[in-house]
């Protein structure tokens, strides 16, 4: 203990003070530059999306967002079918995955013994690591045929009269894409919701049980509402992820830029559109229209991420976004 400060003072040449400053300054600048470069790259990204779509933004204005027609041949571009497809597939995916995900989270947080809960969560979190293209592969060869042979006929038998389930089912469709998406985002909902539920103070539960509530009543009426904000945050995050999914969607959605009322019809999303047409855009306007679609998607993602962050922050939990 006494020798350490002594050895530091006994250094030939320069004084302790200047050595300290030099090292600090270098470290500070290097880390600062790295941090700054991130800011720079983000600014460049936004700049590129904004200027790369200048032509079409001026040409079509806000109507771009509500125009139905996407016809590169006559250079008429409208984002509506893709915004529709993106929002509907993401929304439907949430509709499927939220009950499943929150249900699983409840089980894992409230009911399962600790070790079972940890190992199951580990497995479910591994699902989040599966690459999108693999989901797409399984979508084409496993999910779509199963849906075509079993699920959709059953669905049509029961709900076929509804306009959203009308028309023939080819296989690639909005419904198929939604189902694949829901499988992809469920792990996020489970993981985050479980963490948020675990953080709810035990006395809340105990108080409820002491008043005679059943476990389910405690969970549903006390614990979940307490963690409500965090759960909503996880939903927003899953939504943001679903909006940007590209490969799995493009492999099972049918890639048709048409607005249709039936979920069984093929459709398109913004991400799938860019992926399938960017390399082939044969005119400046076409390319700019696609860049503008990228801008729209980017804007959607920012808004949703912002909302999610807001919600997660206000829960006061240490949950990682």
Hey, which residues between 84 and 113 contact other proteins (CB under 8 A)? 99-101, 103-104, 106-108, 111-112
Can you spell out the DSSP letters for 144-206? HHHIIIIIHHHHHHHHTTSGGG-S---SSSHHHHHHHHHHHHHHHHHHHHHHHHHHS-HHHHH
Closer CB to other proteins, residue 132 or residue 262?
A: 132
Is there binding between residue 50 and other proteins (CB under 8 A)? no
Is there binding between residue 316 and other proteins (CB under 8 A)? no
* Spatial distance between the Cα atoms of 188 and 81, rounded to a whole number of angstroms: 27
CA angle 241–246–248, rounded 5-degree value: 100
Closer CB to other proteins, residue 36 or residue 160?
A: 36
Selected from 65, 66, 95, 123, the binder of other proteins by CB under 8 A is 123
Measured over the CA atoms of residue 199, residue 200, residue 201 and residue 206, the dihedral's sign is negative
* 232 CB neighbour count, 10 Å cutoff: 18
* Spatial distance between the Cα atoms of 290 and 75, rounded to a whole number of angstroms: 12
The residues near 305 (Cβ < 8 Å, ≥ 6 apart) are 236, 237, 240
- Under rule CB under 8 A, which residues in 281-310 are in contact with other proteins? 281-283, 290-291, 294, 297-298, 301-302, 304-305, 309
* Spatial distance between the Cα atoms of 276 and 282, rounded to a whole number of angstroms: 13
* Radius of gyration for the alpha carbons in the chain, expressed in angstroms and rounded: 26
Q: Give 267's DSSP letter.
A: -
Closer CB to other proteins, residue 222 or residue 247?
A: 247
Q: Of 23-31, 59-67, 156-164, 200-208, which segment contacts other proteins by CB under 8 A?
A: 23-31
Is there binding between residue 125 and other proteins (CB under 8 A)? yes
- Under rule CB under 8 A, which residues in 195-234 are in contact with other proteins? 214-217, 220
The minimum distance between CB 161 and other proteins, in angstroms, equals 18
The minimum distance between CB 242 and other proteins, in angstroms, equals 10
Closer CB to other proteins, residue 54 or residue 71?
A: 71
Structure tokens at 196: 């948020």
* Spatial distance between the Cα atoms of 97 and 184, rounded to a whole number of angstroms: 9
Selected from 93, 94, 186, 312, the binder of other proteins by CB under 8 A is 186
Selected from 2, 12, 129, 157, the binder of other proteins by CB under 8 A is 129
Site string for other proteins, 51-90 (x = CB under 8 A): -x------------------xxxx----------------
Site string for other proteins, 249-278 (x = CB under 8 A): --x--xxx---------x----x--xxxxx
- Under rule CB under 8 A, which residues in 139-168 are in contact with other proteins? 140-142, 144-145, 148, 168
């Amino acid at each position: 203990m006494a020798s350490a400060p002594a050895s530091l003072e006994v250094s030939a040449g320069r004084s302790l003070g200047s050595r300290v400053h030099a090292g600090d300054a270098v470290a500070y600048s290097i880390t600062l530059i790295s941090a700054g470069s991130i800011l720079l790259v983000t600014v460049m990204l936004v700049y590129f999306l904004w200027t790369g779509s200048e032509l079409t933004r001026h040409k079509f204005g806000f109507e771009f967002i509500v125009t139905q027609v996407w016809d590169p041949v006559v250079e008429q571009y409208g984002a509506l079918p893709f915004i529709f497809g993106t929002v509907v597939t993401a929304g439907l995916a949430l509709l499927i995955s939220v009950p499943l995900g929150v249900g699983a989270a409840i089980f894992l947080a409230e009911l399962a013994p600790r070790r079972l809960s940890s190992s199951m969560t580990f497995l479910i979190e591994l699902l989040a690591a599966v690459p999108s293209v693999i989901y797409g592969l399984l979508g084409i060869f496993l999910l779509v045929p199963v849906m075509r042979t079993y699920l959709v006929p059953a669905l049509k038998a029961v709900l076929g009269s509804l306009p959203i389930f009308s028309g023939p089912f080819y296989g690639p469709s909005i419904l198929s894409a939604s189902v694949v998406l829901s499988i992809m985002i469920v792990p996020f909902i489970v993981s985050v919701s479980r963490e948020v539920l675990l953080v709810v103070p035990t006395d809340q539960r105990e108080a409820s049980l002491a008043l005679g509530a059943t476990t389910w009543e405690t969970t549903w009426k006390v614990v979940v509402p307490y963690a409500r904000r965090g759960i909503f945050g996880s939903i927003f995050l899953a939504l943001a992820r679903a909006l940007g999914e590209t490969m799995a969607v493009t492999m099972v959605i049918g890639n048709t830029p048409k607005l249709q009322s039936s979920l069984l019809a093929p459709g398109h999303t913004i991400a799938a559109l860019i992926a399938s047409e960017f390399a082939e855009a044969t005119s400046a306007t076409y390319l700019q229209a696609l860049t503008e679609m990228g801008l729209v998607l980017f804007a959607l993602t920012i808004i949703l991420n912002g909302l999610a962050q807001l919600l997660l922050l206000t829960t006061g939990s240490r949950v990682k976004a």
